[in-house]
Structure 1
Amino acid sequence: MAGGLLDKGSVSLRERELVIDRTCWRCGSEYEWGVHIAFFGERVRLTPEEVKGLCTDDPEATPFSPRELLLLRLCDELHATATVSDTLHAELAREWSEAQLLELLVLAGYYHAISFLTNALRLPLESFAARFPRP
Structure 2
Amino acid sequence: MARLPYLEKSDLRPEDQDLLTREITLHKVLVNSPGAARAFGTLGQYIRHGATLDPRLREMAILQIGWLARSAYEWSHHVKIGYDFGVTDADIEAIKAESRGEASTLEPLARLVLKAAREIHAGPGIANETFAALRAALDGAGIVDLTVTASFYCAVVRVLASLEVDVEESYMPYLRKHPFPA
Check whether TM > 0.5.
yes
Kept after mapping to 1: 8 A contact 2:47/2:145: yes
Q: 2: distance between equivalents of 1:79 and 1:134?
A: 18
The 5 Å alignment of 1:85-104 reads 85-104=127-146
Query: 8 Å contact 2:121–2:151 — kept in the other structure?
Result: no
TM-score with structure 1 setting the length: 0.89
Q: CA deviation at 1:114?
A: 0.7
Q: Which amino acid aligns with 1:53?
A: A
TM-score by length of 2: 0.67
Q: Which runs of 5+ in 1 are unaligned?
A: none
Q: Report the structure, 1 or 2, having the larger helix content.
A: 2
Q: Deviations over 1:61-111 (max 9, x none)?
A: 233111100011001111223222211111011111122111111111110
Q: CA deviation at 1:59?
A: 5.2
1:61 pairs, out of 91, 103, 119, with 103
Identity among equivalent positions (%) equals 24
Equivalent pair of 1:59/1:69 in contact (CA under 8 Å): no
- Kindly report structure 1 stretches of 4+ aligned residues shifted beyond 4 Å: none
Matches within 5 A, 1:1-135: 1-38=43-80, 40-56=81-97, 57-58=99-100, 60-129=102-171, 130-131=174-175, 132-135=178-181
Return closer, same or farther for 1:13/1:86 CA change in 2, 3 Å cut-off.
Answer: same
Relative contact order (C-alpha < 8 Å, sep 6+): which is higher?
Answer: 1
Gaps of 5+ in 2: 1-42
After superposition, what is the alpha-carbon deviation per residue over 1:1-29, rounded to whole angstroms, capped at 9, x for unaligned?
A: 11111111111111110111111211221
Root mean square deviation of aligned Cα: 1.7
2:71 counterpart letter in structure 1: S
Task: Give the secondary-structure state (helix, strand or coil) at the position aligned to 2:84.
Answer: coil
